A and B are shown apart, each in its own frame.
Chain A
Amino acid sequence: MSETKRKWFWAWDFDKEESWINQMAAAGKVLSKVGFTTYTFEECEPGEYTIRMELLENLKDSKSKEEYLELTGNSGAELIGKVNRWAYFRKKSSEDDFELFSDVSSKVGHLNRLRVLLALIGTMELLIGVNNTIRSFDVLPMFGVPIAILLIALGVLILFGFCRISYLRSQLIKENTLFEK
């Protein structure tokens, strides 16, 4: 018996998304399929699985991607699915916690990928928004201005997301100032 839920998470709340999916697994429903805003769960033993999400690196060739997925497979994780660059993995719980990143520098590296992406998209939305505002005063102000404002709002929101990830990243580094990991 499977069950599909719709839920929206912003990319910068991926840690919340991951912990929601893991709460479901702890309650006996493990993610089996994932799509844009849709999550399909199937029944499992409570706590049987751990789920981890990763924003995959923008790898040059599909061969490298394949190689990485094979590596995760060899280490016992199963790819549930991908949504854009986000990959969802699950692994049967064992004495070792399932992690995709086992040290601080690679965890920071993962957050860096997300930061770069958010900075790019956020800035782009803002620039297009501002540009549209200026232009639409000449033509169709009734139509263009609301769209431009929307774009600017979205840009600001995404840049807020950038700040959240930057904060998480700095916390991670701060907690580990005493260790070389």
Chain B
Amino acid sequence: MAGTNNALTEAVYYILLSLQQPLHGYGIMQKVEEMSGKRVKLAAGTLYGAINAMLDKHWIEALPEELDSRKKEYVITKQGKAVLTAEIARLKELYENGIAVTEGR
């Protein structure tokens, strides 16, 4: 599960990154936009679909809701962190090979 060879979509990657701290849906959108320097703007349907898929896989979990707050908050799980670490290692390999070849190191 965690160590699949499949690349994460950009949306999933950034959502996992943003959920190191608990955030609600709109908070994720803002955080991802900020982290990517406004490059990645998640549309509502894309974000919501990704959240549900990741909840199913237990990569993220919903925090128990507080009485005064209507919005659900999500946070990354241990499993999600493993997925993220594996993806970063994959990206590192891509990056390093890219640099090595193009700059002829």
Contacts and interface: CB of A to CB of B under 8 A. Distances in A.
B46 A71 contact: no
Contacts, number: 60
Contacts of B50: 106
Nearest to A77: B44
Prevailing SS type, chain B contact patch = helix
A75 B24 CA distance: 13
A100 B29 CA distance: 13
B25 A102 contact: no
A68 B72 contact: no
Contacts of A100: 43-46
Interface residues of B, number: 21
Interface of B: 7, 9-11, 25-26, 29, 41-50, 52, 70-72
Interface residues of A, number: 22
A101 B10 contact: no
A18 interface: no
Given A103-B11, A105-B9, A75 B29 contact: yes
Return the 7 tightest CB-CB contacts between A and B, nearest first.
A102-B43, A100-B45, A74-B26, A106-B46, A71-B25, A72-B44, A99-B43
